[in-house]
Structure 1
């Protein structure tokens, strides 16, 4: 069974890298470049896992995660928050919302793939 991943990121180079990594790892990939679009895509088809940036146009990743966690059909989605924001307060906020894992940019490509696979197996 192929798992699906929703990449929510507005930086083209990071989108390209994550898309390549996830497809190479065997995932079906969808991409949203804005917060509101991510919420729409989740409603259209619930992904198995989400990679979510914090700084996004429309609404930030914290708001996207809050929205995902507030609905019965989507509250279970594992969320990897992948962001340049590395202050402890950002990590605490992500944890309070219910983000599954938090990684900072720049990131190790191998670690991202391992983290995503690990979130699916837990």
Structure 2
């Protein structure tokens, strides 16, 4: 069995070293990144199965915060499905300030201070989160949205069908692309827009305004 890859992003070398030793002893393959000038592509190159991210970095004004990293990760084509464990000194307040967090099943929040058992359990739970299945990029129409229904990625077939570039797609929400069916009630449409998963026939609206029939799993 191939060891799961865990990438730790934290600006404290001692903390990274402790986590590295702990997780390596548990059989994981660990990569460390300091967050000091770390790019999103450098994170992607580690091919993580789980990301561990501190939200507070002590760098200067040009240092990205953990929240900025989180936003980039959730909008990156190769990272958006990766489970993330974030550390916070006040997890309850964190979820109040950022109400979208409870809807992200692939995001774990661990309050400081925490025990070794809590870290191990949180990682195990995140690794057991169901993965999004792979698709045929050239043949299947696949659109991906974040918890706020903003579109963040799509297959080549979807972009070609809609007549859009990836940059154009990311300027739109689900409601901009999926045309409301005439038979849907207002409540059904509201539920569709808020749904994290959806299966069934839909009509997609192309960039030129024309609509096409499709079968969707969202």
TM-score, normalised to structure 1, is 0.86
RMSD over aligned CA atoms reads 2.2
**1:62 maps to 2:60:** no
Q: Higher helix share goes to which structure?
A: 1
Shift of 1:113: 1.1
TM-score, normalised to structure 2, is 0.50
Residues 7 and 52 in structure 2, CA contact (< 8 A), matched pair in contact too: yes
Task: Give unpaired runs (5+ residues) of structure 1.
Answer: none
Instruction: Report Cα offsets for 1:71-98 as digits up to 9, x if no partner.
Output: 22210000000133x1644234271794
Aligned counterparts, 1:66-85, within 5 A: 66-84=71-89
1:119 equivalent in structure 2: 126
**1:48 maps to 2:49:** yes
Residues 87 and 110 in structure 2, CA contact (< 8 A), matched pair in contact too: yes
The number of equivalent residue pairs is 121
Residues 9 and 32 in structure 2, CA contact (< 8 A), matched pair in contact too: yes
Instruction: Report Cα offsets for 1:9-39 as digits up to 9, x if no partner.
Output: 1123321221111101111111111164162
Separation in structure 2 between the aligned mates of residue 19 and residue 51 of structure 1, nearest angstrom: 11
Task: Give unpaired runs (5+ residues) of structure 2.
Answer: 130-218
SS at match of 1:30: strand
Q: Which has the higher contact order (CA 8 A, sep 6+)?
A: 1
Structure 1 pair 97–61 and aligned structure 2 pair: CA distance change class (3 A): farther
